[in-house]
């Protein structure tokens, strides 16, 4: 890519950063991207891919594999604190995970493909909604229009603060953790605060659950963890003893089956605690992320492409603890998620001062484009 094209991508990335949208609300972001691609002459637009998701397709003249590249549309419900000129114009919403940069990189791949279309098969550039809630990938996969794609390979990247800038981080097998949120509600009976013996407060049960849940992973040999992220007891009413308590926790493992087992153990634990204190209890789960499992052939394509481009690589042994809903694609095709170093001292993801480093955009574009050349040219 030339300097003018990189500058164009950088400016567009900053525009996306200034106008972030939450999961499920990415209508304007989607429209901005569609306008960008209308000037790049794709062979097909595929819309209605899970809410505001859509894809552009570049087709070769010969039959061959379908290569899917994916980026995320959504931002986070976090207040941005940076001093940048392109700071979020939406109060309390910001691109503090770098999805704006991921989108810009795939826009760059679109520029490359508009200048030289694949020879064999097709390349699908997918913009997916609702990654942050874990809902978007499954919405895309379950949409009627996804039947038009049927990918042989699916690739995605995530920028990684704490790693050398432009370094490519790779791993075969599990790359990121499976996780889901657990919501527990204990229900007893309120009473006057002067006579707590007349009610049934869930206070002690709540405390026991908070402690017990975080220690539960000690009973599982595989990696697992439960992190209590929120707990609330009763209401702010000084004349009333509490009758309800709510505990929220995130459970995570490196394996989908282990995640299911840990969820059952956690449910059994809180049921036993509720029985001990004569309380009603309800349990529900949300924000379910499957483990991202990198397939060997897809790994080879990215690893060889990085070598050909003389990019520095780092091969990790342990999966990342964070989750990415790209894992849902792992259940339907050959996938690979890789990391793109954002700089060792770069602010961490989801921090208020984070901003995607624009000088890694060209690396992402070049690596994806080289992978496409190996598969579709």
CB 39 within 8 A of CB 45: no
Cβ burial of 34 (10 Å; 0-12, 13-18, 19+) is: middle
In percent, how much of the chain has pLDDT > 70? Answer: 100
Q: What is the CATH number of the domain that holds 301?
A: 3.40.630.10
- 228 shares its domain with 329: no
Give me the domain span that covers residue 369: 3-176+291-376
- 171 shares its domain with 222: no
For the segment 124-152, what is each residue's pLDDT rounded down to a tens digit? 999 999 999 999 999 999 999 999 999 99
Q: What is the CATH number of the domain that holds 223?
A: 3.30.70.360
- 202 shares its domain with 262: yes
- 318 shares its domain with 255: no
- 136 shares its domain with 220: no
CA 340 – CA 346 distance, rounded (Å): 12
Q: What is the pLDDT of residue 1?
A: 86
β-pair partners for 267? none
In percent, how much of the chain has pLDDT > 90? Answer: 99
Q: What is the pLDDT of residue 299?
A: 98
Task: Tell whether the model's pLDDT for residue 220 goes beyond 90.
Answer: yes
CA 344 – CA 311 distance, rounded (Å): 16
- 123 shares its domain with 256: no
For the segment 71-114, what is each residue's pLDDT rounded down to a tens digit? 999 999 999 998 999 999 999 999 999 999 999 999 999 999 99
- 172 shares its domain with 182: no
CB 319 within 8 A of CB 175: yes
For the segment 249-269, what is each residue's pLDDT rounded down to a tens digit? 999 999 999 999 999 999 999
For the chain, give the number of residues.
Answer: 377
Q: What is the pLDDT of residue 29?
A: 98
Confidence of residue 36 (pLDDT cuts 50, 70, 90): very high
Last residue of a domain, one of 288, 303, 318: 288
Number of domains in the chain: 2
Q: Residue 268 CA to chain centroid, in angstroms?
A: 29
β-pair partners for 247? 184, 231
């Amino acid at each position: 890519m030339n300097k003018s094209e990189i500058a164009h991508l950088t400016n567009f990335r900053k525009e996306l950063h200034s106008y972030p949208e939450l999961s499920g609300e990415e209508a304007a972001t989607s429209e901005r991207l569609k306008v960008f691609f209308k000037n790049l002459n794709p062979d097909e637009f595929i819309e209605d891919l899970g809410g505001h998701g859509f894809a552009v397709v570049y087709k070769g003249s010969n039959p061959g594999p379908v290569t899917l590249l994916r980026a995320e549309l959504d931002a986070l419900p976090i207040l941005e604190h940076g001093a940048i000129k392109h700071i979020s114009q939406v109060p309390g919403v910001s691109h503090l995970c770098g999805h704006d940069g991921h989108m810009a990189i795939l826009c760059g791949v679109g520029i490359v493909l508009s200048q030289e279309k694949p020879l064999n098969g097709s390349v699908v550039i997918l913009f997916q909604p609702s990654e942050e809630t874990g809902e978007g990938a499954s919405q895309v996969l379950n949409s009627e229009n996804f039947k038009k794609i049927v990918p042989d390979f699916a690739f995605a990247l995530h920028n990684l603060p704490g790693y050398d800038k432009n370094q490519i981080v790779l791993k075969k097998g599990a790359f990121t953790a499976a996780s889901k949120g657990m919501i527990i509600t204990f229900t007893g009976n309120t009473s006057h605060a002067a006579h707590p013996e007349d009610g049934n407060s869930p206070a002690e049960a709540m405390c026991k659950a908070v402690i017990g849940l975080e220690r539960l992973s000690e009973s599982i040999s595989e990696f697992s963890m439960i992190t209590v992220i929120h707990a609330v007891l009763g209401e702010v009413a000084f004349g009333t003893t509490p009758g309800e308590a709510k505990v929220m926790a995130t459970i995570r493992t490196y394996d989908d089956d282990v995640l299911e087992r840990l969820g059952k153990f956690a449910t059994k634990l809180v049921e036993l605690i509720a029985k001990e204190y004569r309380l009603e209890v309800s349990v529900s789960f949300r924000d379910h992320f499957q483990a991202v499992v990198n397939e060997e052939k897809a790994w080879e394509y990215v690893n060889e492409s990085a070598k050909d481009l003389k990019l520095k690589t780092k091969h990790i042994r342990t999966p990342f603890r964070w989750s990415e809903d790209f894992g849902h694609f792992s259940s339907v095709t050959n996938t690979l998620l890789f990391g793109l170093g954002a700089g060792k001292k770069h602010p961490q993801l989801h921090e208020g001062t984070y901003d995607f480093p624009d000088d890694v955009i060209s690396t992402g574009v070049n690596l994806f484009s080289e992978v496409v050349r190996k598969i579709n040219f």
